[in-house]
Amino acid sequence: MGVVRHVVCAMSGGVDSSVTALLLRRRGYHVTGVFMKNWDSLDENGVCSSEKDCEDAYKVCQNLDIPFHQVSYVKEYWHEVFTNLLKEYEKGRTPNPDILCNKHIKFNHFYNYAINGLGADAMATGHYARTSQEDEDVFQQSHVAPPPKHVFRDRFEIRNPVRLYQGADRFKDQTFFLSQISQDALRRTVFPLSGLTKDYVKKIAAEAGFQHVLKKKESMGICFIGERKFEDFILEVWNSNTHTYLEPKPGNFVSIEDGKIMGEHQGWFTLTLGQRARIGGQRDAWFVVDKDITTGEVFVGPTTNHPALFRDTVRTDRFHWITEDPPTELIQTKMMECHFRFIHQMPLTPCTVTLNMDGSVWIMLSQPIRALTPGQFAVLYKGDECLGSGKIVRLGPTEHTLQQGRDRMKEAPVAKERTPEPVS
């Protein structure tokens, strides 16, 4: 008999992680289910479903006759995800906590707990994604601590990095949310749902009798906010009205077209580019097109597709490559053709990437895209492969700004050619 491999499965109480554990069990692995608690429901006034989710995950583990554990990363989530989120909003950016949660919590703290704490051979999650490894390849991996960032790898070192690919269900594909995870964690992770569609996963769950997880709504949005609007949550007064998550900073809504003050907002950090602005007394819809964090002014345009919302260039901070190094093509030529998205499930857009000396990248899109937003992650793809991501920190000019420049050029007086005077 061969060695029975031990796999720790991240359990959320939902249908995807439940079927993941079931499939691992059917493959003959020794499976341990672990539920992560990342948010303390006692810290806010809204209803948090973590206790119910934990109970649902426990029921699945009982059904499968596998061990169940619960681990708390409330403190780590607060310091490494939520605090970062608040700092980004204070800078006028719109962060993505789901990508940060995978990077810092699930594929860092939880990964180390699974491998080092529980002695697992691998960990598994219910993400719709796949890698360049077969399961048996994962079990052959050993943990190797990454070298210090200031130390360059030996140029002659032979490496075969694990690559991250889109799952079979392209609509549910979740590589976008995995675009910041480490190579070390990816090497020791299996994705049992990689070749399945969501509908087929639901069918497996129904046949297994997981009715209690099938009835649940698909989890959407930021886990700790629940059904509330983000603006209401972030301004929420708690702890007997002594402080808020972010102090309200009222300012004016200003028309991008003529500079007219349209109304007042509670705080520019609650607003993101492209969203409808809630302006009292306005019959027509206005949309956020820009923010000035020094004055507190939020600029708005009168249509959802206003030219001030469209740009075709972004710059990221230091780009995180899944394989650790940039693609050979990009290193050699400093430019590369690939595809881009900054929102999950948005269509992939062709782009040209330029690598900068500091590891950041400029991304030039084949066409202007609506509401490119600082703080969001620019995720790059080459065919089926997710190359990695970088946080958007700078934006190119809008179509509105470019058109204004063209108009000024047309209006500028043309200098008349001077006829040279005859030499006497």
Q: Which position has the token pair 């997981």?
A: 210
Q: Where are the beta strands (DSSP E) in 43-166?
A: 68-72, 122-124, 129-131, 164-166
CB atoms within 10 A of CB 67: 12
Task: Report the distance separating Cα 28 and Cα 25, nearest Å.
Answer: 5
- Tokens found for residue 388: 């990695």
- Catalytic, 386? Answer no
Residue 324: exposure state from Cβ atoms within 10 A (0-12, 13-18, ≥19): middle
The residue behind tokens 């004055």 is 295
Residue 370 host element (H or E): strand 361-370
CA 356 vs CA 318, 351, 382, 409: distances in Å? 9, 16, 19, 32
Cβ neighbours of residue 53 closer than 8 Å, sequence gap 6 or more? 12, 13, 14, 35
3-class DSSP assignment, residue 299: strand
Residue with tokens 């080459």: 382
Give the H or E element holding residue 366.
Answer: strand 361-370
Which one from 61, 223, 338, 386 is the annotated catalytic residue?
A: 223
Phi, psi (degrees; rounded to nearest 5) at 52: -65, -40
Rounded-to-integer distance, Cα 379 and Cα 386, Å: 8
CB 19 within 8 A of CB 63: no
And the tokens for 104? 């810092």
What is the rounded CA–CA span in Å between residue 193 and residue 23?
Answer: 9
**Active-site residue, 9 included:** no
Residue 350 pairs in a beta bridge with 339
- Dig out the tokens for 147 from the structure: 């070298």
Indicate which residue of 48, 54, 101, 386 is catalytic.
101
Are 269 and 89 a contacting pair, CB within 8 Å? yes
Residues tagged active-site: 101, 223
